């Protein structure tokens, strides 16, 4: 009772919370999120659309602007939250869009207003963060331009932007059910049916009837019609001789991807909103959660078109190449699909190639954010695949993340100490003595909310340590994404990270800053960040099914200085008590 009274008093302060002033303009959007019929790869299915559109509308803003999105949940059967990927939410940790971490889910029929400042130019995106909603198509681009006085260290004549995705015909309900089955009843989502470029792909329609029986005789009957405008190939239109900045993001649910342009090299210039030292590449590895800008010069024969292509990497591919058209000018011959075969990427299991390319991404002189000289906290995060109560889960240091009904940020603000589980504080090293190449012999991992706490301004080193899955001789790529921060990537290596052997191999000279980084099979990735953004931040594998199966942790930092959480973000779990009459 005493606790509830204290919470009711706190609500009065919640209402008084006022957004910090911003330099730029306020850009307002009204979005209604609903399931819609759509045919991304010519096969009609249901996707989550925004205002009747898939992918969602592009947000374009200038650094310093405030984005204000009134988001209505028009889906009558599930909750909703949208994460603004790459935006650090400085001062607004409750608008990060992670249900049960930063807010309560938005209920069917309710409207929630996100309002936050985009403080730094770069290529970003947004996506659903509730259940598997990103896999159902809830995503779009978010591009932040520099203010005119800000130096950009390269020039270009035009801009193009694409989001890459992998696509399934099975609904996310069916996918999720399969992931939750006991023992051998487990059904993995499997390889995608299609790869999409800017929401468009092409399934082989001779495998599925062109028109569904009408009315459908039983359940959903899929139809495939390659003439549907929704699956018309995306075209990147260029003019001869000009140079373009091509922005590329991956929101893939499972696949590591490799992007290439037939007959054209690319110069990598930006990664996750940070300028990098230019590197010439003939194809680009891109992991889910990453963004890049590349410069492309239209210097080939302009009388024909070229393929823009995306292939699966890191898992044995069972999905055809995803294609778009790079067309010169708008003459008809130059915009028809090329007659050449679709371009090939490096072998899917050439991991050495991927590691080498990742190491070539370094910060750009003049645009480096100084690296703190040393960390005062080091966290080893060992990821393992385990069985818990008969179900296949991913665990980090023996804890498989499962959201609990109270947003962790609210649990800290209102001292609801039983509403979350601390992982380990201070963090201990779980990787010592662990044999990463042996399939784990079903150790006793548990489920919990996996919260690690840091003091304000701690400098934290994180070593992400990969291991074998439950399948013998198998280890996978995991792209890890940190909310609320960018981190410096200090290095990648194979085997177990050993300080005495590997510390000297780390890059303290020009480490890139990013918000997403890959951990390679049987390898480790070393990163550093400063806990300077009071909030509760998810840190997780960006593979949709992996996070859903527990591959993530929560970083609660500077919780003694959290800004007041607005009432609209509360109302679930123990925070229901905030709204109970005394
Ligand atoms: C489409 O599928 C049919 C039937 O399996 C096959 O004969 C054909 O070669 C496929 N087409 C393509 C472009 O893969
Ligand atoms: C396929 O789509 C085109 C374009 O929308 C339409 O004209 C045609 O009737 C469709 N075919 C079938 C069999 O539904
Ligand atoms: C493309 O870049 C690669 C290096 O990644 C280089 O070997 C190759 O010669 C370049 N091709 C062209 C056409 O410039
Ligand atoms: C928070 O709750 C714990 C136990 O419920 C209690 O011991 C502690 O004093 C509380 N702290 C504050 C600041 O209220
Ligand atoms: C997980 O916990 C179990 C039981 O506490 C322990 O035996 C095992 O060594 C732990 N595994 C790891 C990887 O820490
Ligand atoms: C695992 O891979 C190694 C090296 O490729 C091989 O020698 C070994 O037989 C494999 N073990 C199993 C269980 O497949
Ligand atoms: Cu993963």
Residue 198 contacts residue 160 (beta carbons within 8 Å): no
Residue 326 contacts residue 242 (beta carbons within 8 Å): no
d(CA 412, CA 556): 8
Residue 396 lies in a domain: yes
Residue 449 contacts residue 420 (beta carbons within 8 Å): yes
- Alpha-carbon distance values, 414 to 34, 262, 559 (Å): 33, 56, 11
The three-state secondary structure class of 244 is strand
Residue 10 lies in a domain: yes
Residues 328 and 383 in one domain: no
pLDDT for res 335: 78
Cα–Cα nearest to 476, from 485, 487, 466: 466
d(CA 17, CA 15): 5
**88: DSSP letter:** -
Residue 369 lies in a domain: no
Residues 474 and 565 in one domain: yes
d(CA 55, CA 520): 30
Is the omega angle on the peptide bond into residue 258 within 30 degrees of 0, that is, cis?
no
Residues 487 and 542 in one domain: yes
Cα–Cα nearest to 485, from 465, 467, 458, 510: 458
d(CA 198, CA 152): 26
C-alpha 328 to ligand 3 mean position (Å): 21
**Following CA atoms 573, 576, 578, 580 in sequence, which dihedral angle do they give, to the nearest 10 degrees?**
-150
**325: DSSP letter:** E
- All residue ranges of the chain with pLDDT < 50 are 1-22, 217
Tell me the best of 473, 474, 475, 494 to mutate to test the pocket of ligand 6, counting ligand atoms within 8 Å of each CB and taking the most: 473
**133: DSSP letter:** T
pLDDT for res 6: 39
**Last residue in a domain, options 98, 117, 151:** 151
Residues 391 and 507 in one domain: yes
pLDDT for res 213: 55
Residues 280 and 136 in one domain: no
C-alpha 421 to ligand 5 mean position (Å): 17
Q: Is 282 in the pocket of ligand 3 (CB under 6 A)?
A: yes
Residue 367 lies in a domain: no
Residue 365 lies in a domain: no
The three-state secondary structure class of 385 is strand
What's the CA angle centered on 157, arms 156 and 163, to 5 degrees? 75
Residues 191 and 88 in one domain: no
The b-or-e profile of 559-575 (16+ CB within 10 A means b, else e) is beebbebbebbbbbbbb
Handedness of CA 203, 206, 209, 210 (dihedral sign): positive
- Alpha-carbon distance values, 305 to 300, 338, 343 (Å): 9, 5, 13
Domain count, the chain: 3
Residue 172 lies in a domain: yes
d(CA 417, CA 565): 17
pLDDT for res 20: 46
Q: What ligand has the least distance to the C-alpha of 297?
A: 3
Q: Which residues line ligand 6 (CB under 6 A)?
A: 472-473
d(CA 62, CA 124): 13
Closest atom, ligand 6, to C-alpha of 473: 1
Closest atom, ligand 4, to C-alpha of 418: 5
Entry field: residues in the chain: 582
Tell me the best of 42, 194, 202, 206 to mutate to test the pocket of ligand 1, counting ligand atoms within 8 Å of each CB and taking the most: 206
Closest atom, ligand 2, to C-alpha of 223: 14
- Alpha-carbon distance values, 480 to 250, 437, 546, 553 (Å): 13, 21, 11, 11
pLDDT for res 579: 77
Domain of residue 120, CATH code: 2.60.40.420
C-alpha 299 to ligand 3 mean position (Å): 13
Residue 295 lies in a domain: yes
Tell me the best of 37, 227, 230 to mutate to test the pocket of ligand 2, counting ligand atoms within 8 Å of each CB and taking the most: 227
Is the omega angle on the peptide bond into residue 426 within 30 degrees of 0, that is, cis?
yes
d(CA 296, CA 156): 9
Residue 362 contacts residue 507 (beta carbons within 8 Å): yes
Residue 350 contacts residue 362 (beta carbons within 8 Å): no
Residues 354 and 415 in one domain: no
Q: Which residues contact 450 (CB under 8 A, 6 or more apart)?
A: 396, 399, 400, 401, 421, 423, 552, 553, 554
What's the CA angle centered on 305, arms 210 and 278, to 5 degrees? 115
Residues 437 and 512 in one domain: yes
Residue 196 contacts residue 309 (beta carbons within 8 Å): no
C-alpha 415 to ligand 4 mean position (Å): 6
**Last residue in a domain, options 129, 151, 173:** 151
**H or E element at residue 105:** none
Residue 421 lies in a domain: yes
- Alpha-carbon distance values, 465 to 380, 471, 498 (Å): 7, 18, 11
pLDDT for res 330: 63
This prediction's pTM: 0.93
d(CA 168, CA 45): 10
User: What do you get for the CA distance between the two ends of the chain, in Å?
Assistant: 8
Residues 47 and 170 in one domain: no
- What is the span of the domain harbouring residue 401? 377-578
Residues with C-beta atoms within 5 A of ion ligand 7:
478, 541, 543, 546
Instruction: For residue range 46-91, list pLDDT tens digits in order.
Output: 999 999 999 999 999 999 999 999 999 999 999 999 999 999 999 9
d(CA 568, CA 97): 12
Q: Which residues contact 257 (CB under 8 A, 6 or more apart)?
A: 164, 166, 195, 250, 285, 286, 287, 310, 311, 312, 313
Residues 106 and 167 in one domain: no
Residues 422 and 332 in one domain: no
Instruction: For residue range 197-246, list pLDDT tens digits in order.
Output: 999 999 999 887 666 655 554 556 678 999 999 999 999 999 999 999 99
Q: Is 356 in the pocket of ligand 3 (CB under 6 A)?
A: no
Residues 307 and 241 in one domain: yes
pLDDT for res 210: 66
**Last residue in a domain, options 359, 388, 409:** 359
Per DSSP, helices labelled H in 347-429 are 351-359, 408-413
Per DSSP, helices labelled H in 222-305 are none
């Amino acid at each position: 009772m005493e606790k509830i009274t204290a919470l009711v008093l706190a609500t009065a302060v919640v209402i008084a919370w006022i957004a910090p002033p911003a330099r730029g303009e306020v850009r307002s959007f009204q979005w209604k999120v609903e399931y819609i019929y759509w045919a991304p790869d010519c096969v009609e299915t249901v996707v989550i659309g925004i205002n009747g559109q898939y992918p969602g509308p592009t947000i374009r803003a200038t650094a310093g602007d405030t984005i204000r999105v009134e988001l209505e949940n028009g889906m009558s059967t599930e909750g909703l939250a949208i994460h603004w990927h790459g935006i650090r939410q400085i001062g607004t940790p409750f608008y990060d869009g992670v249900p049960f971490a930063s807010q309560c889910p938005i209920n069917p029929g309710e409207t929630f207003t996100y309002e936050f400042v985009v403080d730094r130019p770069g290529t970003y995106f947004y996506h659903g963060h509730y259940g598997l909603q990103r896999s159902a198509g809830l995503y779009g681009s978010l591009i932040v331009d520099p203010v005119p006085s800000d130096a950009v260290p390269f020039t270009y004549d035009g801009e193009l932007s694409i989001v890459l995705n992998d696509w399934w015909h099975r609904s996310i309900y069916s996918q999720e059910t399969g992931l939750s089955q006991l023992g051998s009843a487990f059904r993995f989502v499997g390889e995608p049916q299609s790869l999409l470029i800017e929401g468009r792909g092409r399934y082989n329609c001779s495998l599925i009837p062109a028109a569904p029986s009408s009315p459908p005789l039983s359940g959903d009957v899929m139809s495939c019609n390659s003439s549907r405008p929704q699956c018309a190939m995306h075209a990147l239109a260029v003019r001869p001789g000009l140079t373009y900045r091509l922005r590329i993001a991956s929101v893939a649910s499972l696949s590591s991807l490799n992007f290439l342009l037939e007959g054209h090299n690319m110069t990598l210039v930006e990664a996750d909103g940070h300028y990098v030292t230019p590197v010439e590449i003939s194809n680009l590895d891109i992991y889910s959660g990453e963004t890049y800008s590349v410069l492309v010069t239209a210097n080939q024969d302009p009388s024909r078109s070229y393929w823009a292509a995306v292939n699966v990497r890191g898992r044995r591919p069972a999905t055809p190449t995803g294609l778009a058209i790079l067309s010169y000018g708008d003459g008809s011959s130059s915009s028809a699909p090329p007659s050449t075969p679709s371009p090939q990427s490096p072998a899917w299991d050439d991991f050495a190639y991927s590691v080498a390319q990742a190491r070539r991404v370094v910060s750009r002189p003049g645009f480096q954010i100084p690296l703190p000289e040393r960390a005062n906290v080091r966290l080893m995060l060992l990821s393992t695949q385990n069985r818990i109560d008969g179900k296949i889960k991913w665990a980090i240091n023996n804890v498989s993340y499962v959201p609990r009904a109270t947003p962790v940020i609210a649990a800290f603000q209102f001292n609801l100490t039983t509403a979350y589980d601390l992982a380990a504080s201070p963090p201990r090293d779980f990787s010592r003595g662990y044999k990463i190449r042996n399939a784990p012999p079903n150790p006793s991992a548990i489920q919990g909310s996996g919260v690690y706490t840091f003091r304000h301004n701690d400098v934290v080193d994180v070593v992400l340590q990969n291991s074998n899955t439950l399948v013998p001789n198998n280890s996978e790529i995991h792209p890890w994404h940190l909310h609320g921060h960018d981190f410096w990537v200090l290095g990648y290596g194979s085997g177990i990270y050993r300080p005495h052997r590997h510390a000297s191999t780390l890059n303290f000279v020009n480490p890139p800053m990013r918000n997403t980084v890959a951990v390679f099979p049987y390898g480790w990735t070393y990163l550093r960040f400063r806990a300077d953004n009071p909030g509760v931040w998810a840190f997780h594998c960006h593979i949709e099914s992996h996070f859903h199966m527990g591959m993530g942790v929560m970083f609660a930092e500077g919780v003694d200085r959290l800004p007041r959480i607005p009432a609209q973000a509360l109302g679930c779990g123990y925070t229901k008590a905030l709204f109970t009459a005394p």
